[in-house]
Amino acid sequence: MEEGGARAPGCDRGPVQTRRGTYISAMTRDPVLQFTDRGIYCPAGDFHIDPWLPVDRALITHGHADHARDGMGRYLATHEALPVMRHRLGDVALEGIGYGQTRRIGGANVSFHPAGHVPGSAQIRVEVAGEVFVASGDYKVVDDGLSTPFEPVRCHHFITESTFGLPVFRWRPQADVAAEINDWWRGCAAAGKTAFLGAYSLGKAQRLLSMLDPGIGPILTHAAVENTNEVLRGQGIALPDTTLVTPELVPKEHTRALVLSPPSALGSQWARRFGPQESAFASGWMALRGVRRRRAGDRGFVISDHADWRGLLWAITETGAENIYVTHGYTDIFTRYLNDEGWNAEVVPTQFEGESLDTGDVA
Amino acid sequence: MKRFAKLFAAIDQSTKTTVKVAALADYFSDAPEADKLWTVALFSGRRPKRAVTTTRLREWASEAADVPLWLFEESYAIVGDLAETISLVLPPNPTQDDRPLSHWIGALRQLRDMEEAERKAFVLDCWRVLGGTERFLFNKLITGGFRVGVSQKLMTRALAQATGKPEAELAHRLMGNWHPDEVNWHALIEAEDASADASRPYPFYLAYALEAEPETLGDPTDWRAEWKWDGIRGQLILRDGDYFVWSRGEELMTDRFPELARAIDHLPPGTVLDGELLVWIPGSDAPSSFNALQARIGRKTVPKKLLKDAPVVLHAYDLLEWQGQDIRDRPFAERRALLEVACADLPPEAAVRLSPQHAFDDWSALADLRLTARAAQAEGLMLKRADSPYLAGRKKGDWWKWKLDPLTIDAVMIYAQSGSGRRANLFTDFTFAVWNGNDLVPFTKAYSGLTDAEFRKITAWVRKNTEERYGPVRKVKPHHVFEIAFEGIQASPRHKSGVALRFPRMARWRHDKPLQEANTLDDLKEMLRIYG
């Protein structure tokens, strides 16, 4: 990396590098962002980003449960993220902000920029005395047609995830995966079987909905998915028509159906009443045969709302940042690679979970 | 290879045996004969000779993918499968090639005679023309070890559907020493006389564990009981003046057990015995522990001293062939009577002994006997129905293993490491410790025994409670107590704790047990004194 190549204009007082690569502003002697046991903290603005323990003021990247938690005094997130957060967190002090809009909080300038992860997700840019940090939360760099697409933000310090930070993870174009899923659904329909597709309720489920071909048959939904659908439809996001599976619903009246449900519902009592069926799971983890065989049921489709290996490296390069903080995923390996390639990277422990196969069933 | 890849995908994608068998039967009905033969060979553990070392493959793949070697290795550790790791790191491309499986096997054969540079160019070229599943399968052919979700039993069933031949006959045809380079489809599957090979073993009959009370088996007089030995199951074949020893995993182990050659002098040709290979020091009351046998298994040729220190004896418990006749259909009691006749006058040097049966009048007497198994170095009892034929494979009903309950100890989890392959994103490999004063002394690792849900739960916990990292290993906060079950305990100077356990696993997550109440090193030493 070119030394200082990405410094923001007006930053005449160069940051000072310490032993662990943490930059300290020469003026305040406080880092712009600190990694504390409550979450990512900004001393200049006295706020936390995606904290996991109660704090007064929380800036939230997106509404998934490991980033937007209960118990904060007040919350700031993008306008697009608010409805889901309200749905999940109930009556709490929520405030919205537009993408790209700058807000002064204490001594910090704060703005939210699209992260492309799920609708409303943001990277949070924090600038103090010309020094810029970006906390990216979770992100993906391809346009899923639903979320506001990822935009790289120039900065000195970039906080990144590395859920799929290994070169074996390489996503195929969304249209290819859509064709695969629709082919499978068509096959199920032709064989007189109900197709069960498991995916997380917020984000992935709606992205899959937008990829399905409603010409094949009716699309049914589990309540966990449908609740989020309603929230997103309510904020103007167009989704295909879906029918909620209620106890009264008669499966026989919905031949050729595809049922979209949380992964935990696959193969459950709830699913079994549909009779002959196939089940599939949509996740980035399905790229690994071992995981696919353990978790997929009949099929595994490789699709993720996180960046793949090349996506992560592209995003990091585009920020121009020299200092990279890796929060979750294959942190050790990914950090070592970044350091070998000339970045100044370190692992920071957090309680973010990335794309878990196992929890994260939110909203 | 497209047809083979389609078969593989169908088998690999489904968890339903009916789907797998149907896909295989379909394949056996319409694939070219050379491909079918190789498919049967690959799915039964046979493989082309390795033409390239895995070290070279890793180097070439890392170079072709433009990924540093250390990163390739880290990825491999997580993916858990070299063939898959290679196919994933290389740039994706659609398969442009239509040549059959047998072509690629032939190509691999040529590879062996090539110069290194030529070999590399060839493999890189194959990686370019093959994509997706085909590339993965090509790598599998090079690296060997073709594990698919198909048991030999399912494959045999599919073959039976496709050929109309009985399953039991096909199972026997597929046993033993054949290699697809030396046999064709007709000779292996279709020809009338399939027993030409003197070394061919019979499929082993395998027992299920008895979960219910033995009373559920009915009248005790219908049953026979013997020790369940803790050795290696083996089949001794005496035919045409020669001898062969097969393991249950269908590995020919003849050279490892030269003492069994002496059986030729004492038993007639045309005899096949099923029994347990045990190290038994002359004059002792019980066999040596499995550890002693392990030293023998590891050696392809056995030095004289080891032969003397750890002599192996076959404890025969069944007779499958007698005077050249396959007698597996006859009742167990009748086979046993013949076995007793055959073994009646064997001198100690024959290295074959009759495995004793235990007479019992009622189930409770047998239950008492079972509790003494450990003193006899046995794992428990085998129960066999007197009128049962010798079946092929694992079948419920006629044979049961009634093992002793394992030994257990409550231990504290102190290190965690993530798994690979099927468990790539979970922490599954743990190190456990017992108290020694205020210190925790590690004494064993364990990988299995928890449910998927429990592994997920502990994984989430490990992520949040890591204290230190050493490469892939995480030191975690001592907090969780697990009941560790194991089959045996041995003194081991190589371990800090001074003991080594046999087959340790996590029997229970003791949420109810506070950290301080885990067992101590003294408890472990006491177990060593009693059971070691």
Nearest to A278 by CA among A215, A185, A214: A185
Could you tell me if B21 and B88 lie in one domain? yes
Strands A194-198 and A258-261: parallel
The verdict on residue B84 lying in a domain is yes
Percent of chain A clearing pLDDT 70 (strictly above): 90
ipTM of the complex: 0.89
Q: How far is A197 from chain B (nearest CA, A)?
A: 15
Domains of chain A: 16-168+306-347 (3.60.15.10), 174-301 (3.40.50.10890)
DSSP assignment of A243-269: EE--TT--GGGSTT-EEEE-GGGTTSH
Q: Which residues contact A292 (CB under 8 A, 6 or more apart)?
A: A285, A286, A300
The verdict on residue B213 lying in a domain is yes
Give the closest of A289, A330, A358 to B81, CB-based. Answer: A289
Residue B114 CB burial class (10 angstroms; 0-12, 13-18, ≥19) = middle
Amino acid in the structure at residue B199: S
Per the structure block, which two tokens stand in for A179? 């064709």
Could you tell me if B261 and B360 lie in one domain? yes
pLDDT of amino acid A357: 65
Could you tell me if B388 and B427 lie in one domain? no
The pLDDT of residue A274 is above 90: yes
The verdict on residue B423 lying in a domain is yes
Amino acid in the structure at residue B222: D
The verdict on residue B507 lying in a domain is yes
Could you read off the pLDDT of B234-288 as tens digits, one per residue? 999 999 889 999 988 777 888 899 999 999 999 999 999 999 999 999 888 899 8
Average model confidence (pLDDT) for chain A?
89
Could you read off the pLDDT of B387-405 as tens digits, one per residue? 999 998 888 889 999 998 8
Could you tell me if B486 and B432 lie in one domain? yes
CB contact under 8 Å between B423 and A294, yes or no, is yes
**Touching check for A342 and chain B: CB below 8 Å?**
no
In chain B, the number of structural domains is 3
pLDDT tier, A103 (very low <50, low <70, confident <90, very high otherwise): very high
CB contact under 8 Å between A358 and B460, yes or no, is yes
Chain A residue numbers touching B84 (CB-CB < 8 A): 288-289
Per the structure block, which two tokens stand in for B460? 């989430």
Could you read off the pLDDT of A31-43 as tens digits, one per residue? 999 999 999 999 9
Could you tell me if B221 and B349 lie in one domain? yes
pLDDT of amino acid A82: 97
Could you tell me if B226 and B371 lie in one domain? yes
Could you read off the pLDDT of A318-349 as tens digits, one per residue? 999 999 999 999 999 999 999 999 999 999 98
Local structure of A7: helix, strand or coil: coil
pLDDT of amino acid A280: 93
Q: What is the CATH number of the domain that holds B509?
A: 2.40.50.140
Q: Which residue has the higher pLDDT, B433 or B425?
A: B433
Nearest-angstrom CA–CA distance, A125 and A111:
5
pLDDT of amino acid A72: 97
Could you tell me if B389 and B477 lie in one domain? no
**Touching check for B149 and chain A: CB below 8 Å?**
yes
Chain A residue numbers touching B472 (CB-CB < 8 A): 332
pTM beyond cutoff 0.80 = no
Question: What is the gyration radius of the CA atoms in chain A, in angstroms?
Answer: 21
Could you tell me if B351 and B458 lie in one domain? no
Structure-token match 């100077």, residue found: B493
Q: What is the CATH number of the domain that holds B78?
A: 1.10.3260.10
CB contact under 8 Å between B85 and A168, yes or no, is yes
pLDDT tier, B193 (very low <50, low <70, confident <90, very high otherwise): low
| Segment 297-336 of chain A within 8 Å of chain B by CB | 297-299, 330, 332-333, 336
**Touching check for B17 and chain A: CB below 8 Å?**
no
Enter the DSSP assignment of B355: P
Domain holding B415, by residue range, is: 407-531
**Touching check for B424 and chain A: CB below 8 Å?**
yes
Mutation choice for A interface testing from B425, B427, B475 by most A CBs within 10 A: B425
The verdict on residue B55 lying in a domain is yes
Could you read off the pLDDT of A113-127 as tens digits, one per residue? 999 999 999 999 999
Domain termination site, one of B111, B143, B175: B143
Q: Which residues contact A182 (CB under 8 A, 6 or more apart)?
A: A211, A212, A213, A216
Q: What is the CATH number of the domain that holds B311?
A: 3.30.470.30
Nearest to A32 by CA among A318, A320, A314, A325: A325
The verdict on residue B445 lying in a domain is yes
Could you read off the pLDDT of B322-351 as tens digits, one per residue? 999 999 999 999 999 999 999 998 998 899
User: Are the CB atoms for A138 and A304 separated by under 8 Å?
Assistant: no
Could you read off the pLDDT of B146-190 as tens digits, one per residue? 777 788 888 999 999 999 988 888 888 888 778 888 888 888 888
Chain B residue numbers touching A290 (CB-CB < 8 A): 79-81, 420-424
Could you tell me if B14 and B110 lie in one domain? yes
Nearest-angstrom CA–CA distance, B97 and B499:
55
State which residue of chain A sits closest to B148, comparing Cα positions. A293
Average model confidence (pLDDT) for chain B?
90
**Touching check for A65 and chain B: CB below 8 Å?**
no
Give the closest of B89, B423, B464 to A167, CB-based. Answer: B89
**Touching check for A168 and chain B: CB below 8 Å?**
yes
Domain termination site, one of B350, B382, B403: B403
Domain termination site, one of B355, B382, B403: B403
Residue B3 CB neighbours (<10 A): 16
Chain B residue numbers touching A294 (CB-CB < 8 A): 422-423, 452
The verdict on residue B184 lying in a domain is no
Residue B507 CB neighbours (<10 A): 18
Could you tell me if B344 and B332 lie in one domain? yes
The pLDDT of residue A11 is above 80: no
**Touching check for A287 and chain B: CB below 8 Å?**
yes
Could you read off the pLDDT of A284-316 as tens digits, one per residue? 999 999 888 777 578 899 999 999 999 999 999
Beta-carbon-side half-sphere exposure of residue A258 (alpha carbons within 13 Å): 29
Nearest to B313 by CA among B337, B346, B270: B346
For chain B, the helix, strand and coil percentages under 3-state DSSP, each to the nearest 5: 40, 25, 35
Nearest-angstrom CA–CA distance, B469 and B157:
49
The pLDDT of residue B46 is above 80: yes
The pLDDT of residue A23 is above 60: no
Q: How far is A293 from chain B (nearest CA, A)?
A: 7
Percent of chain B clearing pLDDT 70 (strictly above): 99
Give the closest of A291, A349, A356 to B422, CB-based. Answer: A291
The pLDDT of residue A360 is above 50: no
Amino acid in the structure at residue B167: E
DSSP assignment of B109-146: HHHTTS-HHHHHHHHHHHHHH--HHHHHHHHHHHH---
pLDDT of amino acid B177: 77
The verdict on residue B248 lying in a domain is yes
Task: Give the DSSP H or E segment for B160.
Answer: helix B152-163
Could you tell me if B412 and B392 lie in one domain? no
Enter the DSSP assignment of A173: P
The pLDDT of residue A363 is above 60: no
Could you tell me if B424 and B362 lie in one domain? no
